[in-house]
Amino acid sequence: MRAAAPRWKAAFMHPAAKPLLFVLCLLPFAQLLYGAVFDTLGANPAEALLRATGDWTLRFLCVALAVTPARVLLGLPALARFRRMLGLYVFFYALLHLLCYSVFDQGLDLAEIWRDTLERPFILVGMLAFVLLTALAATSPHRMTRLLGARRWQRLHRSVYAVAGLALLHFFWMRAGKNNFAEVLVYTAIIALLLGWRAQRAIRKRRAAA
């Protein structure tokens, strides 16, 4: 793969690469929108939308977290240029997930949403994850790095690891009621592998610097 890196780098650096990725990331949304308009989401469209947007949030989170390991292991630094867009798509699908819950499940009743958040732990951790994602999305533009300072910006954006933990906990508690943990285990394994790689890399760097 490293031998083919120059060819892949040229492809990733092509001016059309980012627009193509942007369109590809919108395809799940387009499919869900089509299903909602043409009534192909099954007997319970609201639940289908809620579940699908949550699933896509986790999938994009895994993909965004995979960028750095892939960049390092495959010798493709050009991959880094897609990380910001993928992170924003995590926020986008999380926002859709929240809107589906707020509109279809709670009828946009803010008092009921607040009560439900306090009463059900899996809703609370989901809300906390969304608050962190909102902070990350708001500070994603390059000018925010200059405003906050590189070190402070990096510390803030490491909270994506907390988002991953909260998202998994949200998913676990949601599936616990149905005693269905198969998908939870898959996402947990993927995220544990990605975060474990980062932890091991950080340990090696500290040892090398000592």
Residue 189 is which amino acid? Answer: A
- Quote the Cα angle for 146-152-156, to 5°: 110
Q: Read off the pTM.
A: 0.92
C-alpha 105/C-alpha 143 separation (Å) is 37
Could you read off the pLDDT tens digit of each residue along the chain, which spans 210 residues?
Answer: 555 566 777 777 778 889 999 999 999 999 999 999 999 998 899 999 999 999 999 999 999 999 999 999 888 888 989 999 999 999 999 999 999 999 999 999 999 999 999 999 999 999 999 999 999 999 998 888 888 888 888 888 999 999 999 999 999 998 877 777 888 999 999 999 999 999 999 888 888 876
Q: What DSSP string describes 107-142?
A: TT-HHHHHHHHHH-HHHHHHHHHHHHHHHHHHT-SH
Domain coordinates in residue numbering, the chain: 45-66+83-209
What is the per-residue pLDDT for 210?
A: 66
DSSP string, 51-120: HHHHHHHHHHHHHHHHHHHHHHHTT-GGGGGGHHHHHHHHHHHHHHHHHHIIIIITTT-HHHHHHHHHH-
Could you tell me how many residues make up the chain? 210
Question: Cα(60)–Cα(34) distance, rounded to whole angstroms?
Answer: 20
Q: How high is the pLDDT of residue 119?
A: 93
| Count of beta carbons in the 10 Å neighbourhood of residue 137 | 17
How far CA 71 is from CA of 8, 9, 74, 80, 101, in Å, comes to 11, 10, 6, 7, 35
**CA separation (Å) from 100 to 88, 107, 147, 207?**
18, 10, 34, 47
Query: Residue 151: is it exposed, middle or buried by C-beta count within 10 angstroms (0-12/13-18/19+)?
Result: exposed
Q: Which amino acid is at 69?
A: P
